Chains A and B, each alone.
Chain A
Amino acid sequence: MKPRTLSGRYARTAYLFLLPAILFFAAFFYLPIGNVVATSLRTGPQADQWAGLGNYTQALADPAVRHSFLVTVAFAVAVVAGSIVLGLALAMAIDQPLKGRVAFRVLLLVPYLTSVAIVGLLWRNILDPELGVLNRVLLAAGLPAQQWLNTAPLLTIAAVTLWQSVGYTMVLFLAGLQGIPETYHEAAKIDGADAWRRFWRITLPLLAPTTLFVSVMAVISGLQAFGQAYIITGGGPGDATDLSVFHIFNVAFRTRDFGYSSAQSVLLLIVIVAFTLVQLRAGRRGEVVY
């Protein structure tokens, strides 16, 4: 940027343009977050008694909090890994000169357009072990009926999440692939590199920024997953799918301990910010992402 744009006049313009945004984020994000931090220092059903850091020390020692955090991390890892592998595979397939690629792109992205609540209800119905349509189809095909929500509950809700979001990831990778100049591949071909080697040596490194973006967004949304437990499993069986946000929600609205719930929210927030910073640092390759 040219040095003269640093002049105070442009700074004034910048702030003026930013004014609505600053007011908005202050009123609807920072004020409420400040409120949550204040609540996290209180206790009681009306959150009106001073507790100091009591809620935080309690949360750090609470086995249920630890368990729900581990469940959430496992869920996020499954979703991130699935998003990258499946999203990239589909993007590479659709990047080929095939007939009907636009149609495939639309079909794969369609589940992304509907709501988590509807997706949850729909899959709950489909997966029902006794009355659901999936087992009906499996039995008709001579395969054994399955109880996905009992035998592998966490993986199942991760798969449903992937089902909904993989089209979106695919489009992000597709955009990334189309940004790689064809000449790189051609040069590698002339050097005699096979397809596998070209993928590892050229495609993957040049896609790094996309992969980073996909994984950062998937981690953020994976750690915040809520509807999957709220609609599909109710956190069960037992506490197998007690995702952190669902757990925090229940502490607030079922157990009615807003102070304790707020403290856990703040802790989760810190974890998400930390994860994101670590990822950005690890993924930064001479390029500033923000």
Chain B
Amino acid sequence: MRERNKARVATVWLDGCSGCHMSIFDMDDRLLELKDRIELVYSPLVDAKDYPKDVDVALVEGCIGNEEQRKFAHTMRASTKTFVSLGDCAVTSNIVAYRNPFKMHDVIHRAFIENSEGEIVLPQEDVPPLLPFAVPIHEIIDVDVYIPGCPPSADLIHYTLVELLEGRHPDIKNRFG
């Protein structure tokens, strides 16, 4: 159900560090004031478990690092009007791509065999398989707006959101927020 006069906004955390979400929260009072203009339909802040239909704006942090995220990107795209890649991980895959030059086997081996004791076991049940390379979101789906920064500043996020709510395309000049 659509609340009248409110934009349906989602904030999503893929393979990132949550820092871009912290920057969303760094809008401080402005985050509370947005309550009159937006309906937060999907976000780490709310209890919706399924990505809803008819999302007006999605602010998406992080890149695509595993199979689940790759599928989820398509799900989001199909239900979202304006898809925003939020932060350097979403835009370039940033720090997450540091793992790309290494073989997956070596990465897992360091964490779970070299740096663990006891029986040798690798996580493989009930956990999503990793993609061999972490990639920026636009390699998987079309993205409408890019906000670079690690993380982008709260001011830049607020500006972008308000422009989109006003029906304008934000002009992102502040390259490193």
Q: Is B one of A's binding partners? A: no
